[in-house]
Structure 1
């Protein structure tokens, strides 16, 4: 990937022009896949999710480490609170008619500076949380693998779509050239009185149909390139150029060997197994919450006071205090909330196990279907190759007969139409075979095998 990205960067930097134009980038299938795995938004978000999981793992670890906080306060009492005392002997005031005596206890200014330390000694949820954070990281890695598989699948199919439309353009141009030659020759025969006007018109109609097909192929080609760039995460301002052909990417030996493979474990199964493990850990976490939690606490504080702000910070007015202790929280009754969560976890585990069993069976069916489709496409491809060869022979013979005056113009037009149809069917069979190959690679869990080799 680095080599491809560097090549692309140097190409873009070196292409400085006074006018704005599309930058051309030459692509291969491998290069397109490597670029997409780096730049496709889904793949990039999946990698970012790994960073989120790493931060979550640190977050779960933090409660097990010492928690230290500092505090400082500076208070001023404009009106010191009043405390009422009974107006009774021996401290009463006989001159005060009230039965209570107001007294002010406190000073105008006070301040304090302290530090608090707490350390968890035992909490069952903490240790379960550590395991859950590690399992969550594993699930995120599987999610990344799944996202990359999806990117590879979509890019391969989009790449093949570009190739088949590119090949259709090439064939349409060849067909136009062939028909133009035939039209020119027939027009000359008509001018010389050796061919009827209807023969020229018949070929002109065929030429118009072929040109329409050519225009459609060009439009489809441009659309398929835009789709490929979108799947790759490449800016749409760039223009891609591909020199590979469908035949090069469709070796029959490789396809036949793929039919004999049993495949690997699918990442979707790893995902659901990890989800089962996470739900089991959640069940364990809800269970251990019935156990008490124990914490160690320590505190040290310096406090001072004064009637005036300038006396507040005299060292003689400041005093120290400290505290050491152990606290225990014992759950007694929570309204059956933990019991309800435990029951929910057990049901969720059963649901996930049912889903896993269904996935296992569906993957087997997917492999069977993909192999059957690929084998069928290979048979169709062989038939279309034979049809294309026969259609070419029929056209050549019809053309020779027409030029020698022993064949009709209608035979040539019909043979040309049959040849064009055979070419389209052959390209369709090639494309279907490649798509079936991708589907089988996905079913076997081998989508990224070429990239890893």
Structure 2
């Protein structure tokens, strides 16, 4: 009864844990689509674009009328004293002094006013507006670059999960094979046909293979967690991949990649926009030598009284207004604008040098990526052939052992060689997949690559 209750409680706890973790079945394109919406960098890139849109509106507002209102209420506990000369015709002979103190002002003052200004001409405004729009375009390219980085990281993590799945399958097949051999050897030992050392030798190999299975499972779980982080997937979800490596990497696609010349890279557009921004900054510093003209208007109502109760009576309030045009003419700023212009010209030269270097670097990146992929595919083919040969050697060694013409040591060594060949094959497979993604990035087709 106690055992039954223990099993029931364990089942309920296990079932609750499984139901709490929802499993998402995804293929590569669905994984990428999810990541582009939920990855932290991708979301921040979208927010940065919203900031750029707001910046354009902010710059546009500088060319619109600026209107402000104000209200003030002042109380003078002690009215200031003004001294007047005690001389005719305002002198007072009753005061024995050469000055007369007089208080000018009232205890309470209040006012309402509205001011308006409108820019008529300012060269910096038009340059700044164009710079804000260029910044928005640069932010759009930055978002594309971020999306490319997200796609690259997701694809590499996705392939890592698939490779670790294959690693588990091979490791478990190896364990099944060595378990079968161990059972056969134990039976032969019990029947007196083999020595105990042969059982021990296979047991050691079995333990090593079991360790390999556990490591494969651990690597698989870690690779899934990495993929979930790249996707922005909450930890309470699990992933089940619905595609295989063969479906994702047909030979025809690899051949097409190797023959492509590449497309326009977003990094070029980013650098072009940076050059345009520096050019606009240069233009902005140049136009600051020109005068700026603004229209100003003001209207206000003011009132005053010696007591607060009389302050807001209409007879104590008066109006005034002002209309005017202000022209600001720069004369001398200590050569600050000249220094900024010189700095902008040097910055332009730097960016132009980077543009020439970027073109050469992209060409080198494509060449290097194609060379690496070609080499990795060749190594993968060699490792696949090596794995097949190792399997053949194991099969022959096993047949010879079963027929009594081979040794137990030969079978163990052949099994170890087969496991090593499988590990090397999987490593070569992952290297080839990473090289494929690197080539897609170098060619500028990550956004459209399947």
TM, length-normalised to structure 2: 0.93
Structure 1 stretch displaced more, 406-415 or 122-131: 406-415
Equivalent residue number for residue 144 of structure 2: 145
Alpha-carbon contact 2:380-2:425 (below 8 Å) kept: yes
Are positions 1:388 and 2:362 aligned together? no
Alpha-carbon contact 1:109-1:309 (below 8 Å) kept: yes
Structure 1 stretch displaced more, 203-212 or 136-145: 203-212
1:229, distance to aligned residue in structure 2 (A): 1.3
Question: For residues 90 and 430 of structure 1, what CA distance do their matches in structure 2 show?
Answer: 110
Alpha-carbon contact 1:378-1:433 (below 8 Å) kept: yes
Equivalent residue number for residue 441 of structure 1: 440
Equivalent residue number for residue 108 of structure 1: 107
Equivalent residue number for residue 69 of structure 1: 68
**Structural mapping, 1:45-444, within 5 Å:** 45-444=44-443
Alpha-carbon contact 1:247-1:430 (below 8 Å) kept: no
Q: Structure 2, unaligned stretches of length 5 or more? A: 1-14
Alpha-carbon contact 2:291-2:327 (below 8 Å) kept: yes
1:424, distance to aligned residue in structure 2 (A): 1.8
1:17, distance to aligned residue in structure 2 (A): 4.5
TM, length-normalised to structure 1: 0.92
Question: For residues 412 and 335 of structure 1, what CA distance do their matches in structure 2 show?
Answer: 88
| 1:17–1:220 Cα change, 3 Å | closer
Structure 1 stretch displaced more, 104-113 or 342-351: 104-113
Q: Structure 1, unaligned stretches of length 5 or more? A: 1-15
Question: For residues 272 and 280 of structure 2, what CA distance do their matches in structure 1 show?
Answer: 12
Q: What secondary structure does 2:307 align onto?
A: coil
Question: For residues 90 and 193 of structure 1, what CA distance do their matches in structure 2 show?
Answer: 146
Q: Deviations over 1:226-249 (max 9, x none)?
A: 111111111223222224222222
Equivalent residue number for residue 3 of structure 1: none
Q: What secondary structure does 1:449 align onto?
A: coil
Question: For residues 52 and 109 of structure 1, what CA distance do their matches in structure 2 show?
Answer: 47
Alpha-carbon contact 1:43-1:147 (below 8 Å) kept: yes
1:334, distance to aligned residue in structure 2 (A): 0.6
Question: For residues 119 and 100 of structure 1, what CA distance do their matches in structure 2 show?
Answer: 48
Equivalent residue pairs, number: 436
Alpha-carbon contact 1:250-1:430 (below 8 Å) kept: no
Alpha-carbon contact 2:440-2:449 (below 8 Å) kept: no
Equivalent residue number for residue 5 of structure 1: none
1:372, distance to aligned residue in structure 2 (A): 0.5
Question: For residues 153 and 445 of structure 1, what CA distance do their matches in structure 2 show?
Answer: 11
Q: What secondary structure does 1:25 align onto?
A: strand
Equivalent residue number for residue 10 of structure 1: none
Question: For residues 265 and 79 of structure 1, what CA distance do their matches in structure 2 show?
Answer: 76
1:79, distance to aligned residue in structure 2 (A): 2.4
Q: Deviations over 1:106-128 (max 9, x none)?
A: 22222211111100000010000
Question: For residues 129 and 359 of structure 1, what CA distance do their matches in structure 2 show?
Answer: 28
Question: For residues 195 and 81 of structure 1, what CA distance do their matches in structure 2 show?
Answer: 120
Question: For residues 128 and 242 of structure 2, what CA distance do their matches in structure 1 show?
Answer: 53
Question: For residues 211 and 16 of structure 2, what CA distance do their matches in structure 1 show?
Answer: 35
Alpha-carbon contact 1:402-1:408 (below 8 Å) kept: yes
Q: Deviations over 1:61-99 (max 9, x none)?
A: 111000001111122222222222111112211121211
1:267, distance to aligned residue in structure 2 (A): 1.1
1:171, distance to aligned residue in structure 2 (A): 0.7
Question: For residues 230 and 362 of structure 2, what CA distance do their matches in structure 1 show?
Answer: 25
1:291, distance to aligned residue in structure 2 (A): 0.6
Alpha-carbon contact 1:246-1:431 (below 8 Å) kept: no
Alpha-carbon contact 1:118-1:296 (below 8 Å) kept: yes
Structure 1 stretch displaced more, 207-216 or 280-289: 207-216
Q: Deviations over 1:322-372 (max 9, x none)?
A: 111100111111111111111111111111111121111111111000000
Q: Deviations over 1:261-314 (max 9, x none)?
A: 111111111111111111110111111111110000011111222232222222
Q: What secondary structure does 1:374 align onto?
A: helix
User: Please, what is the CA RMSD of the aligned residues?
Assistant: 1.7
Question: For residues 17 and 240 of structure 2, what CA distance do their matches in structure 1 show?
Answer: 22
Equivalent residue number for residue 13 of structure 1: none
Q: What secondary structure does 1:92 align onto?
A: coil
Structure 1 stretch displaced more, 340-349 or 126-135: 340-349
